[in-house]
Amino acid sequence: MEAVKKYPVMLLMGLFTLCWSGISMADNWKNPDLLVDAKTVNDYVGKKGYVIVDCRDLKDYLKGHIPSAISFGNRCKKALRDTTARVFRDVEKYNRLFSKVGISNDDTVVYYYDGLGTLTDATVAFWVTELMGHKKAKVLNGGLEAWRKAGYRLESNPVVREPAKFVAKFEPAAYAETAEILKIAGDKKTASQLVDSRTAKEHSGDDIRAIRGGTVPNTKLNVSHLDTLANEKDPKTGKPKTTAYFDFDAANKAFGGLDRKNRTIAFCQTGTRSTMTYLQLRMLGFENVANWDESWRVYGSHLDYPVEGEQWYNFADVNKKIKNLEKKVQTLEAASKTAAK
């Protein structure tokens, strides 16, 4: 009889422990509300005050999207940035765009993606939205994969919202100028923290994507953006496989050694991958975070800027490889003509 009486109590204690553990995991992020799960997004569908944005190509959007979700008419990073001259202080561009698609200053905006290929489209959109002074931006963790796994449906009819009124207020703290980076590069005692989101080979100069390879002097940390996401075991190889899910443990392992109170600036090659780092730093509670949008593409092409681990673009080697490729193409064409006779 004693065992029967104790069993419900033990069961309740076990359930309490599980629930408490789940709460603790969610609370690991200092700002967990910047990420939302599929259930939360489903609660937003069709609800006033919430706008869901599909960050993929329009053709993919039209094949199937989350109900009530809108599209900017292009991938988010193309719709929100000029690939050659990104003048973000031209806030009128964003006033027009957000107002036209039905986003107001009062709306909560949720961006979603589909896999690793479009994940940074959503983080670019998140950063640009915060850059425009709008603090109600969120990202669906796991994107469409999480939505599908939760068993929710998609719809194919395009959604057009009534135009709204959006008034941007540029947030300079979220934007790092190259002039600020140059000051950091010349100050070994700087408290500012530069985070290089590129691969290790890009950082070392072995992978050159500008006139010069290498990194900015006094960079505090180099960690590939892909190394900060959740992993799962590949069923074929048994090895860890990067997923499109944000994970506290992975992010904290990567950035936990940095000072959350100091100015922290993320960069990469074009300021795209680093927007993902920006979001993660925001979620971890860093107080003064920015994205350096010009990033290495601009910095590495200025011959007077200081570079650590400087490597020069090997044009002779590239030309040699192009010529070898041309010879292979000619050989294949000749073989194809011979086979056709």
What's the pTM? 0.85
Write the pLDDT tens digit of every residue in 270-320: 999 999 999 999 999 999 999 999 999 999 999 999 999 888 876 656 666
Stretch 133-144: mean pLDDT: 97
Tokens for 97, please give them: 């765009």
Q: Is the pLDDT of residue 12 over 90?
A: no
Could you give the 3-state DSSP secondary structure of residue 51? Answer: strand
What are φ and ψ of residue 108, in 5° steps?
-85, 130
- Residue 210 phi, psi (nearest 5): -140, -170
**Of 111, 108, 115, 109, whose CA–CA distance to 148 is shortest?**
115
Is residue 282 within 8 Å of 34, Cβ to Cβ?
yes
**CB neighbour list of residue 49: distance below 8 Å, 6 or more residues apart:** 106, 107, 108
Alpha-carbon distance of 315 to 325, in angstroms, equals 15
Check whether 29 has a pLDDT greater than 90: yes
Half-sphere exposure of 25 (CA within 13 A, CB side): 10
Q: How far apart are CA 68 and CA 22, in angstroms?
A: 30
Of the ranges 18-27, 77-86, 193-202, which one carries the lowest mean pLDDT score?
Answer: 18-27
Pairwise CA distance, residues 126 & 224, whole Å: 19
Mean pLDDT on 194-215: 93
* Contact by Cβ (8 Å): 54, 71: yes
Task: Report whether pLDDT(17) > 50.
Answer: no
Q: How far apart are CA 60 and CA 74, in angstroms?
A: 10
Q: Give the whole-angstrom CA distance, residue 57 versus residue 69.
A: 13
Amino acid letter, residue 78: K
215 three-class SS: strand
Q: Is there a contact between 87 and 145 (Cβ–Cβ < 8 Å)?
A: no
Domains along the sequence of the chain with CATH: 29-170 (3.40.250.10), 176-315 (3.40.250.10)
Task: Please check the confidence at residue 7 and state whether its pLDDT lies above 50.
Answer: no
Q: Which amino acid is at 295?
A: S
Residue 71: how many CB atoms within 10 A of its CB? 22
The DSSP annotation for 240-277 comes to EEEEEEE-HHHHHHHHTTS-TTS-EEEE-SSSSHHHHH
Q: How large a percentage of the chain has pLDDT more than 90?
A: 75
